[in-house]
């Protein structure tokens, strides 16, 4: 189980790296007026979203494996799983926002995306605290 836990942590860290950077690309897309730069940023965002999705799948599957191995004990685990669902929802929201940029339908400002970019930091912080401290 320690190997599963180690790979789970690696995939989680990699997944979050993508979730930290993708909205940063959105900030730049929301500010950009040059079509060449916009095309390049969209390509970067598409590739990063695809790669991040490929990292999320084993992260979630390995987490399920750990859950089956260790069980579903403690209120902290319920809270952690609720936050994981929010992370998955955030990932999905990034995909939706990317489609809006691709279709030229983005209505949000770069300032909004700067705040949006902070959400995964807060989620990861809360999840790590729950897993390490197990406050309840």
> What is the rounded distance in angstroms from the CA atom of residue 31 to the CA atom of residue 65?
42
- Burial tier of 86 (Cβ tally within 10 Å: 0-12, 13-18, 19+): middle
> What is the rounded distance in angstroms from the CA atom of residue 6 to the CA atom of residue 26?
31
Of the candidates 133, 127, 115, 120, the one whose C-alpha atom is nearest the C-alpha of residue 30 is: 115
Per-residue model confidence (pLDDT) at position 70: 86
Any alpha helices (H) in the chain, and if so which ranges? Answer: 2-31, 35-70, 75-102, 110-116, 119-133
Contact 14, 55 (CB under 8 A): yes
Residue by residue, pLDDT tens for the chain (136 residues) are: 999 999 999 999 999 999 999 999 999 999 999 999 999 999 999 999 999 999 999 999 999 999 999 887 889 999 999 999 999 999 999 999 999 999 999 999 999 999 999 999 999 999 999 999 999 9
Of the candidates 79, 126, 75, 93, the one whose C-alpha atom is nearest the C-alpha of residue 23 is: 93
């Amino acid at each position: 189980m320690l190997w599963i836990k180690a790979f789970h942590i690696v995939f989680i860290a990699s997944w979050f790296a993508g979730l930290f950077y993708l909205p940063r690309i959105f900030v730049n897309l929301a500010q950009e007026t040059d079509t060449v730069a916009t095309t390049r940023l969209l390509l970067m965002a598409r590739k990063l979203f695809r790669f991040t999705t490929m990292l999320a799948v084993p992260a979630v599957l390995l987490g399920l494996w750990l859950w089956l191995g260790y069980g579903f004990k403690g209120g902290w685990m319920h809270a952690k799983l609720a936050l994981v669902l929010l992370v998955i929802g955030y990932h999905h929201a990034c995909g939706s926002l990317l489609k809006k940029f691709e279709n030229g339908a983005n209505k949000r400002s770069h300032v909004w995306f700067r705040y949006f970019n902070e959400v995964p930091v807060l989620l990861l912080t809360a999840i790590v605290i729950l897993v390490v401290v197990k406050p309840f």
